[in-house]
Amino acid sequence: MNVEITRLASGLTVVTETMPHLESVALGVWIKSGSRNETDDEHGIAHLLEHMAFKGTARRSARDIAEEIENVGGELNAATSTETTSYYARVLRDNVPLAVDILADILTESAFDEEELRREKHVILQEIGAANDTPDDVVFDKFSEVAYRGQTLGRPILGTPDTVKGFTPGQIRNYLSRNYTTDRMFVVAAGAVDHATFVKQVEERFASLPMTPSAPPVLEAARYIGGDVRETRDLMDAQVLLGFEGKAYHMRDFYCSQILANILGGGMSSRLFQEVRERRGLCYSVYAFHWGFSDTGIFGIHAATGGNELPTLVPVIIDELRKSSETIDQQEIDRARAQIRAQLLMGQESPAARAGQIARQMMLYGRPIPNPEMMERLEGITTERLTDLAGRLFFDTVPTLSAVGPIEQLAPLNDITTALATPGIQTKKAAG
């Protein structure tokens, strides 16, 4: 792993991985701040800021930003999550100075023009509307809301129409000054990049970033609560998400949870896919996942099916969860490890994937994690650890159930909870 790290006097961290066989470079700025860092009156502002960064600076209009990067065949984009925000570009090696200049410009000199803000609010309102019209988006948003009720972690990243409409340039600048500081920012590049040259370019263009926040960043501790949320809609398919509190990135069982999710529903050979879709034909989509955050996590099973299949589908899923707490084959662990290893190695062939992976590891662990070290962590996972984890995840915690669509036949949460806790108990159809 040809990774070099330099921490500038300003506190900004610069990381590169040279991939000499390439002609392109993926580079970006990752900020250890997202929707969880919003105050109560800032719901949605992290995402709005990400949009507004591209809407003009002291030197460039929004059109100038788009044209300059595309004039050289490059790409520019950004993303907001619950705990991070990223701004990134992909260019040919000769155009790295331009990409650095544009990224620095939008992050240090954004104008936050009133008219641009008005237009962008309208765009985000359309984005919120589109998300509300997409049942598989709605089921995940509602799941988070009830799993982490009344907390920033449980709020939709996009915000609400009311909060988005009310934001001012001053509020955006306040969030920016509080969270976009050098101690929380990482500039990463992967591909045809020279470390020393890149460090010099970053140091010159990002010199105006503040070193310390105007006020301490907000991050309330997560409290998993769990519960039930349902929305009946006249749809062809029912979206159902059953989940439990998972493991944070730094917890011992984090990688074990990733393996368990892969075994249960990580591919066509997984238990849920084979039993639910292939053998029984109960749904067209079923998978398991594990999301880690800094202080909590979510282990979930998502299924999309017809409403009439729900009385049969849910008991089958519960039965597969129970089986995972009783028996897991070594072959299943080996297959899951092989899939993760392949993903890691394939990611090394993409400069964009490598830049993103390095940035996430720097934010989470303070250093890049070599692939051999990652695989070594996975090698220590045994069948006994997995069955023990499954028992604790699925049967010792309060579940969260989110459902959208024709869900009249979905069993009550109490029945599902009882079935999870009591072998042999079947869930029954909801009354009415």
Residue 10 DSSP symbol: T
State the Cα–Cα distance between residues 253 and 423, nearest whole angstrom.
Answer: 25
Q: Residue 122: count other Cβ atoms within 10 Å of its Cβ.
A: 12
User: Contact, 356 vs 315, CB < 8 A?
Assistant: no
Write the burial class of residue 27 (CB in 10 Å: 0-12 exposed, 13-18 middle, 19+ buried). Answer: buried
Q: Where are the domains of the chain?
A: 3-205, 227-421
Q: How far is CA 217 from CA 36, 83, 158, 183, 262, in A?
A: 10, 12, 20, 11, 35
User: Contact, 90 vs 130, CB < 8 A?
Assistant: no
Reply yes or no on whether 127 is catalytic.
no
Write the burial class of residue 319 (CB in 10 Å: 0-12 exposed, 13-18 middle, 19+ buried). Answer: middle
Common-topology check for domains 3-205 and 227-421: yes
- Bridge partners of 86, per DSSP, are 30, 79
What is the token pair recorded at 329? 């084959």
What pLDDT sits at residue 96? 98
The SS3 assignment for 134 reads coil
User: Contact, 143 vs 32, CB < 8 A?
Assistant: no
What pLDDT sits at residue 423? 59
State the Cα–Cα distance between residues 124 and 166, nearest whole angstrom.
Answer: 13
Q: Which of 42, 50, 245, 309 is catalytic?
A: 50
Averages of pLDDT over each 10 residues, the chain, 432 residues:
92 96 97 95 97 97 98 98 97 98 97 97 97 96 97 96 97 95 97 98 95 75 96 96 96 95 96 97 96 96 97 96 96 95 90 96 93 87 96 92 98 93 55 34
> Does domain 3-205 sit in CATH 3.30.830.10?
yes
State the Cα–Cα distance between residues 323 and 318, nearest whole angstrom.
Answer: 9
The SS3 assignment for 358 reads helix
Q: Are strands 13-18 and 185-191 parallel, antiparallel or unpaired?
A: parallel
User: Contact, 228 vs 293, CB < 8 A?
Assistant: no
Task: For domain 227-421, give the CATH superfamily.
Answer: Metalloenzyme, LuxS/M16 peptidase-like (3.30.830.10)
In the chain, the amino acid numbered 194 is D
State the Cα–Cα distance between residues 185 and 244, nearest whole angstrom.
Answer: 32
- Bridge partners of 57, per DSSP, are 110
Residue 60 DSSP symbol: -
Q: Would you say how long the chain is, in residues?
A: 432
What pLDDT sits at residue 431? 35
State the Cα–Cα distance between residues 154 and 156, nearest whole angstrom.
Answer: 7
